[in-house]
Structure 1
Amino acid sequence: MKPRSVPLLMAAALAVGACTSIPSGPSVMVLPGSNKTFDQFLGDDHNCRQFALGQFGGVSSQQASSTAAVSSSAVGPSYSGDSGYGAQYQYDAAYIQCMYAHGHRVPVYGQMIAAPPATPPANYKPAFPPPAPQGHTP
C-alpha cells in the first residue's frame, strides 16, 4: 500500500463515521399509562428522551446551544457505534425502559399466542343447568 493512501483512507473513514447522527427522538410509539394524565405523560416523555440521549453520550440541542465553549461533546456524540441504526436502536431501548419504569404502555415484540380456553375444575357444579342446545328436535 502506498504511503499516501493511508491518510486518504483514514480521512474517508472519518468522513463516513461523521455521518452518523444523534437520533432526534424515539422511533417507537408509547402510550400513557392507565392511571396517568397526559401532562404526566409529557413530563415523563421529556425526561426519558433526555435519559436516552445520555445513555450513549449524546447531547440534546438545548444542551449544545447552552454550552458557551465548543467542545467535542457538543459537536457530536461520543457514541462509537457503526451506524445510525445502532444509535437509534440503543436510544429506543433506553427510552422504552424509562417509559415502562414510569408506568406507561410500551410496545412488546413477539408473537401473540391465544391461551386455550380454561376448563372448570372437576368438582364444579353450576348454580343452574346450561340451556338446552338450539336446533332441530326429532
Structure 2
Amino acid sequence: MKSIQIASIAICLMLGACASVPPTGPSVTAVAGDNVSNQRFIRDDADCRVNAQGVTDRAAANGELGLQRMYDGIYAQCMSQRGYHIEAPVARYYYGPGYYGPGAYTTGPAPYWGYGPYWGRGNWGYGPRW
C-alpha cells in the first residue's frame, strides 16, 4: 500500500515539474498619447492582456516554451494596433563579483619537487628539478 502511495506521489511530482506556467503580465510598457483618457487606456490594456493570456494559456496547455516572449508579442501587437506606443524592456546587466585570481605578472607554475616534467632555469625539462 505504501509503495502505491509513494509511486503516485512521485508521478504527480514528475508531471508537475513538466508543467509550464503562463506569464501573468507583459514585460513591455505601453504608453498612451496625450489625447487618450485614462479609462480608455485601462480598458484597452485589460482587453489586450486578456487576449494575450488566452493565447498563452492554450500554448501552455500544449507544453510550448517561450511563453513570456509570446505574451509580450501578442500584447504589443494588440496595443500598437490601438494606437499606443510600445517601449521595449530595458536590458539590465549583472557583472558579478570581481575576479580574485593570480596577478597579471606570474612567473610560471607552482614549485615542483621530484621527478617529472617541470619548468625551471629558463627551459622545459624532465627529471630532477635541481
| Letter of the 1:42 counterpart | I
Please name the residue that 2:17 is paired with: 16
Q: Is the 8 A contact 2:29 2:88 kept in 1?
A: no
Higher alpha-carbon Rg: 2
Q: TM-score, normalised by structure 1?
A: 0.49
Runs of 4+ displaced beyond 6 Å:
none
Please name the residue that 1:51 is paired with: 51
Say how many residue pairs are matched.
80
Gaps of 5+ in 1: 1-6, 59-75, 110-138
Q: Is the 8 A contact 1:31 1:104 kept in 2?
A: yes
Instruction: Give 1:41-80 correspondences, 5 Å limit.
Output: 41-58=41-58, 77-80=60-63
Q: Is the 8 A contact 1:34 1:104 kept in 2?
A: no
Q: Is the 8 A contact 2:31 2:86 kept in 1?
A: yes
How large is the RMSD of aligned CA atoms in angstroms? 2.6
Gaps of 5+ in 2: 1-6, 90-130
How far 1:15 moved relative to its partner?
Answer: 3.0
How far 1:29 moved relative to its partner?
Answer: 1.2
How far 1:77 moved relative to its partner?
Answer: 4.0
CA distance in 2, matches of 1:79, 1:89: 16
| Letter of the 2:17 counterpart | V
SS in 2 for 1:16: helix
Q: TM-score, normalised by structure 2?
A: 0.51
Bigger strand fraction: 2
Q: Per-residue CA shift, 1:20-42, capped at 9, x if unaligned?
A: 21211111111113431111110
CA distance in 1, matches of 2:28, 2:88: 11
| Letter of the 2:28 counterpart | V
